[in-house]
Amino acid sequence: MSSLKQLKTQFLEYIEIEKGRALKTVENYDHYLTRFLEFIKNDNPEKIDDATVREFRLWLNRQSTGNNRATGNTLSKKTQNYYLIAVRAFLKYLARQDVKTMSPERIELAKVGERSLDLITPTELSRLLDSPLGSDLKNLRDKAILELLFSTGLRVSELCSLTADIDLHSDELSIRGKGGKVRVVFLSDEAKKAVKKYLATRKDMSDALFIQISTRKAIEDPTKSIGFVKPLTRRSVERIVKQHATKAGISKKVTPHVMRHMFATDLLSNGADLRSVQAMLGHANINTTQIYTHVTDKHLRDIHKKYHNKS
């Protein structure tokens, strides 16, 4: 019989190769499962039972966050659930491999509060999109990034995977998202215009759509070829969005995912149906998309205006 450590390695290879999970997801699962196996101090899958998992949950619930134990802050229920989801997925894999162990259905996730949305106002969104000024390469790139994020609702990892041979004659774009699933997203006229102007200024040889601009010369003299340059990372895109949010005078935390939220709420508030928005966001489950409905229900707002405090 294989040990739990060997089975964990096989499981991680399975979700990367067979399930098409992103490397970051594989790394996260590795982290969660490693801590689980270190806690149970056991290498026999048959010895994983309800008591083992209950003790692990108690241990998680008492873990301090950060380096300062005096703060009294413990792992959030959401973070604890990440560990439980990883353990449950691992047990499901073991069951499929006919390895005798605890049933994954016996693991219930901790109850968490309703997810809140980080949103900015339409006025703030307009200021953000207008923040990149000038015709230099950096501002043209940043403008294209912001317009594309709002037009398509792309995840930041999906944006970073785009290549410079993007077809700007079409209004749509095929994207390979989570789990290798392909979906279609749509380009607004503003997004196409911004990307076109940015690409027309590019003189490098890189395949990536969005690239790092590392030298002042490349910004001041975009006509000069700068050869091969590195593509933007997700962290770089997050910094770019944050910088322009600050420049636009927005005090709230603004990330590429906030742009994705704004894309969804904009569609729903203008009458789009939930199933269509689900498809455009690439959500596997419509319950994930439903987090947007409570901020876009015009009907309830109209009822309130019509009937509240009329006496």
Residues classed as catalytic: 155, 178, 257, 260, 283, 292
CB atoms within 10 A of CB 203: 14
In sign, the C-alpha dihedral spanning 252, 301, 152, 174 is positive
Joined tokens for residue 139: 């501002």
Instruction: Tell which residue, 84, 99, 79, 78, has the closest CA to residue 14.
Output: 99
CA–CA gap between residue 120 and residue 196 (Å, rounded): 27
Contact 13, 20 (CB under 8 A): no
CB atoms within 10 A of CB 297: 13
At how many degrees (to 10) do helices 77-96 and 23-40 cross? Answer: 90
Joined tokens for residue 211: 């690239």
In sign, the C-alpha dihedral spanning 126, 132, 135, 138 is negative
Long-range contacts for 44-51 (Cβ within 8 Å, ≥24 apart)? Answer: 44/1, 44/3, 44/4, 45/1, 45/4, 45/7, 45/94, 45/99, 45/100, 45/101, 46/100, 46/101, 48/91, 48/101, 48/102, 49/102, 50/102, 50/106
φ and ψ of 185, to 5 deg:
-120, 165
Instruction: Tell which residue, 286, 284, 288, 18, has the closest CA to residue 177.
Output: 284
